[in-house]
């Protein structure tokens, strides 16, 4: 389709309104003002920087709509960004008042007498990251930053020398046959001196940029987990406000990386969720079912007893850390936050590192404007700044944390313990030398005693009673997902023949299970007399699990029409 597009020239475009980019944009505005004031007062040499046109595009219908987290926030970065963040109204829910670490067997909990230091959160903040991003978005707008919700970054724009020159936003008003509807609006080409990708875990533009420019060369493959979460309102007394519990053990088997969280928030609201490593072996594992099973543990069920589920969500987490970090810059572009692998997998915390990475990107961009050079020559300073910051001090010693779990729980516990005292140097004791990509680890059905792909074989006792446990469709309803159904599916499956034949036989179509939103269904086709793939794309919660975990890497997640997706307000 030949489409005439508007071009809009900006100085800096940020893709994604998550904590990384919101902190980056705000910090950039602040330090440019500071720079100009110092130059004006003769305290700094150089030229003043003219007022920058800064834009943030966000695919969700508002800032925070697609933000899902636990969340316990380490305030180290927000204190640097805005020392008076509490006085300025940052919507923290409550302060962590107690920590616990439970090892769960089938029926019992063994409470660790000491909470492992990485999971100590006393004094940190429990909050809804969605709410916090909404608030940070308001702060950005007050500072004169343009925010464009419902504008997905659909394509990177390059010049003839492969330098990034901006981003193309998605078209609106295309029907499912790919034709223009009455409300058609072409996407806009946002041209920028620097484009910053802060799309979160498995960013769709970041993935293509990394492939095109080889930004992962020489790095270990990224590894991911998926966090499945519900918010509950429970009777007073079930949990203390400010209580934080992390768990290990039930229901994960010892070969599967997994753990749960339970956070007591204000007004008897509980954030509860379960993380499953997307490098599991058994093809019948279903991360949503793992979470539902987690809630049936007597000690966990006690916390939820008499309560009501309010909201649901699921999102991936990039867990590989330092060793899987891509090259973070190229001509005209920087990568921040989860897209750049800044999450600390040992603490399952990435808000503070995402924000700090954004702030360091902002400082790099200020340098680029003072030198009027937006090539790698100047932007490479981003990596130097990261290495000289507390991000390095935090991430480098835990660089082998997730990798250790790829050898199973028991050796991982020994190994991560050794890493803790050696500053990450226990790698030599591990059976495997490097992280392996999760989708390459999935084993075939034939290696198990399963008959077909019925999930009941793996979860025989799991019933979705709609009181404590919920099926995917009920949960998805509580994620507030909405997509216009008359648009092309944003999940591109490159070869559906493989789904119907080879994948069915080898893995039992694991997309039906790893997707936490029932997007993928194998449906019997009477004409061909076989089961074929049906994609319910309107259920998609934008978690990106399918793009990551498909064993043949045939699924490509691209951005749907702007504004579509979950509504995680308050999550």
Footprint of ligand FAD on 104-133 (CB under 6 A): 129
Residue 337 in the binding site for ligand FAD (CB under 6 A):
yes
Find the shortest distance in angstroms from Cβ 350 to ligand FAD.
2
Q: How far is CA 164 from CA 161, 223, 422, in A?
A: 9, 26, 41
Q: Indicate if the alpha-carbon torsion angle 503, 509, 515, 519 is positive or negative.
A: positive
Find the shortest distance in angstroms from Cβ 78 to ligand FAD.
11
Find the shortest distance in angstroms from Cβ 504 to ligand FAD.
30
Nearer to ligand FAD, 121 or 536 (CB): 121
Residue 545 in the binding site for ligand FAD (CB under 6 A):
no
Across-strand partners of 126?
A: 72, 94
The region of 55-63, 86-94, 302-310, 423-431 touching ligand FAD under the rule CB under 6 A is 55-63
Find the farthest-apart pair of alpha carbons in the chain and give their distance in angstroms, rounded: 80
Which of 162, 157, 169 minimizes the C-alpha distance to 215? 162
Cβ-based burial of 183 (10 A; exposed 0-12, middle 13-18, buried ≥19) = exposed
Q: How far is CA 46 from CA 42, 225, 372, 385, in A?
A: 9, 46, 12, 21
Helix axes 19-40, 129-142, angle to 10 degrees: 30
Residue 92 in the binding site for ligand FAD (CB under 6 A):
no
Among 14, 27, 32, 60, the residue binding ligand FAD under the rule CB under 6 A is 60
Which of 107, 140, 134 minimizes the C-alpha distance to 30? 140
Helix (H, G, I), strand (E, B) or coil at 72: strand
Among 72, 92, 174, 362, the residue binding ligand FAD under the rule CB under 6 A is 72
Q: How many CA atoms lie within 13 A of 251 on its CB side?
A: 22
Find the shortest distance in angstroms from Cβ 352 to ligand FAD.
6
Footprint of ligand FAD on 442-471 (CB under 6 A): none
As a whole number of angstroms, the distance between CA 412 and CA 421 comes to 14
Nearer to ligand FAD, 135 or 427 (CB): 135
Helix (H, G, I), strand (E, B) or coil at 118: helix
What is the helix (H) or strand (E) element at residue 14, kind and residue range? strand 12-15
Among 195, 370, 559, 567, the residue binding ligand FAD under the rule CB under 6 A is 559
Nearer to ligand FAD, 282 or 338 (CB): 338
The region of 54-62, 296-304, 457-465, 500-508 touching ligand FAD under the rule CB under 6 A is 54-62
User: Tokens 């990386």 map to which residue?
Assistant: 257
Nearer to ligand FAD, 153 or 259 (CB): 153
Residue 307 in the binding site for ligand FAD (CB under 6 A):
no
Find the shortest distance in angstroms from Cβ 531 to ligand FAD.
31
Site string for ligand FAD, 7-36 (x = CB under 6 A): --------xxxxxxx---------------
Find the shortest distance in angstroms from Cβ 426 to ligand FAD.
25
Residue 209's contacts (CB-CB under 8 Å, 6 or more residues apart) are 156, 164, 197, 215, 330, 333, 335
As a whole number of angstroms, the distance between CA 531 and CA 426 comes to 47
Find the shortest distance in angstroms from Cβ 130 to ligand FAD.
9
Among 10, 13, 28, 67, the residue binding ligand FAD under the rule CB under 6 A is 67
Footprint of ligand FAD on 228-257 (CB under 6 A): 229
Residue 535 in the binding site for ligand FAD (CB under 6 A):
no
CA 146 to chain centre: 24
The region of 111-119, 341-349, 435-443, 496-504 touching ligand FAD under the rule CB under 6 A is 341-349
Number of shown-chain residues binding ligand FAD (CB under 6 A): 44
Among 14, 29, 52, 70, the residue binding ligand FAD under the rule CB under 6 A is 70
Are the CB atoms for 96 and 318 separated by under 8 Å? no
Residue 172 in the binding site for ligand FAD (CB under 6 A):
no
As a whole number of angstroms, the distance between CA 494 and CA 178 comes to 17
CA 540 to chain centre: 15
As a whole number of angstroms, the distance between CA 61 and CA 148 comes to 9
Which of 307, 275, 304 minimizes the C-alpha distance to 290? 275
CA 246 to chain centre: 19
The region of 63-71, 91-99, 459-467, 489-497 touching ligand FAD under the rule CB under 6 A is 63-71
Nearer to ligand FAD, 73 or 442 (CB): 73
Residue 152 in the binding site for ligand FAD (CB under 6 A):
yes
Nearer to ligand FAD, 249 or 566 (CB): 566
Nearer to ligand FAD, 190 or 504 (CB): 190
Nearer to ligand FAD, 337 or 508 (CB): 337
Q: What is the number of residues in the chain?
A: 571
Nearer to ligand FAD, 81 or 418 (CB): 81
Residue 153 in the binding site for ligand FAD (CB under 6 A):
yes
As a whole number of angstroms, the distance between CA 80 and CA 221 comes to 32
What is the helix (H) or strand (E) element at residue 315, kind and residue range? strand 308-318
Among 315, 399, 435, 458, the residue binding ligand FAD under the rule CB under 6 A is 315
Footprint of ligand FAD on 189-228 (CB under 6 A): 198-200, 203-205, 227
Nearer to ligand FAD, 351 or 404 (CB): 351
Which of 117, 125, 19 minimizes the C-alpha distance to 63? 19
Give exposure, 12-38, as e/b (b: 16+ Cβ within 10 Å): bbbbbbbbbbbbbbbbbbebbeebbee
- The CA angle 514-487-542, to the nearest 5 degrees, is 30
Footprint of ligand FAD on 342-361 (CB under 6 A): 343, 348-352, 354
Find the shortest distance in angstroms from Cβ 442 to ligand FAD.
21
Footprint of ligand FAD on 253-282 (CB under 6 A): 273
Residue 73 in the binding site for ligand FAD (CB under 6 A):
yes
Residues that bind ligand FAD (CB under 6 A): 15-21, 57-60, 66-73, 129, 152-153, 198-200, 203-205, 227, 229, 273, 315, 317, 337-339, 343, 348-352, 354, 559
């Amino acid at each position: 389709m030949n489409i005439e597009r508007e071009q809009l020239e900006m100085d800096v475009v940020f893709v994604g309104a998550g904590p990384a980019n919101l902190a980056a944009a705000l910090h950039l505005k602040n330090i440019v003002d500071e720079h100009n004031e110092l130059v004006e007062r003769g305290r700094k040499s150089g030229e003043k920087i003219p007022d920058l046109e800064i834009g943030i595009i966000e695919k969700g219908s508002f800032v925070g709509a697609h933000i899902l987290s636990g969340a316990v926030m380490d305030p180290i970065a927000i204190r640097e960004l805005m020392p008076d963040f509490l006085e300025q109204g940052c919507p923290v829910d409550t302060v962590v008042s107690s920590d616990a670490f439970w090892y769960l067997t089938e029926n019992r909990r063994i409470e660790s007498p000491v909470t492992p230091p990485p999971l100590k959160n006393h004094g940190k903040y429990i909050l809804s990251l969605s709410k916090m991003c909404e608030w940070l978005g308001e702060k950005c707008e007050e500072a004169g930053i343009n925010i464009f919700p419902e504008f997905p970054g659909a394509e990177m724009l390059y010049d003839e020398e492969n330098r990034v020159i901006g981003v193309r936003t998605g078209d609106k008003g295309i029907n499912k046959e790919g034709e223009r509807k009455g409300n058609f609006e072409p996407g806009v080409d946002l041209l920028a001196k620097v484009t910053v990708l802060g799309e979160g875990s498995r960013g769709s533009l970041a993935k293509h940029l990394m492939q095109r420019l080889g930004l992962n060369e020489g790095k270990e493959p990224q590894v991911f987990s998926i966090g499945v979460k519900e918010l509950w309102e429970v009777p007073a007394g079930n949990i203390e406000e400010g209580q934080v519990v992390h768990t290990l053990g039930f229901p994960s088997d010892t070969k599967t990386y997994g753990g749960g969280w339970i956070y007591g928030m204000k007004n008897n609201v509980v954030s509860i969720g379960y993380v499953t490593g997307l490098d599991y072996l058994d093809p019948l594992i279903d991360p949503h079912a793992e979470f539902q099973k987690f809630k049936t543990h007597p000690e966990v069920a006690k916390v939820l007893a008499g309560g009501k589920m309010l909201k649901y969500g699921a999102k991936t987490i990039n867990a590989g850390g330092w060793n899987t970090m891509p090259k973070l810059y190229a001509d005209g572009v920087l990568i921040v936050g989860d897209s750049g692998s800044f999450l600390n997998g040992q603490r399952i915390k990435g808000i503070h590192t995402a924000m700090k990475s954004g702030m360091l990107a902002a400082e790099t961009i200020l340098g680029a404007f003072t030198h009027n050079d937006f090539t790698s020559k100047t932007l490479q300073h981003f990596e130097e700044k990261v290495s000289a910051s507390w991000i390095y001090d935090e991430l480098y010693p835990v660089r082998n944390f997730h990798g250790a779990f790829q050898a199973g729980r028991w050796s991982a516990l020994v190994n991560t313990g050794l890493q803790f005292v050696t500053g990450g140097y226990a790698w030599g004791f591990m059976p495997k030398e490097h992280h392996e990509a999760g989708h390459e680890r999935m084993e075939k059905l034939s290696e198990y005693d399963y008959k077909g792909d019925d999930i009941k074989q793996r979860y025989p006792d799991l019933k979705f009673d709609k009181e404590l446990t919920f099926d995917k469709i009920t949960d998805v309803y509580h994620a507030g997902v909405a997509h216009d159904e008359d648009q092309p599916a944003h999940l591109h499956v490159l070869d559906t023949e493989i789904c119907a034949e080879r994948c069915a036989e080898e893995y039992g179509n694991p997309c039906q299970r790893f997707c936490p939103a029932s997007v993928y269904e194998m449906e019997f086709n009477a004409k061909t007399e076989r089961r074929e793939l049906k994609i319910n794309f309107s259920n998609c919660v934008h978690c990106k699990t399918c793009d990551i975990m498909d064993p043949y890497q045939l699924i490509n997640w691209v951005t749907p029409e702007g504004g579509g997706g979950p509504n995680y307000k308050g999550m």
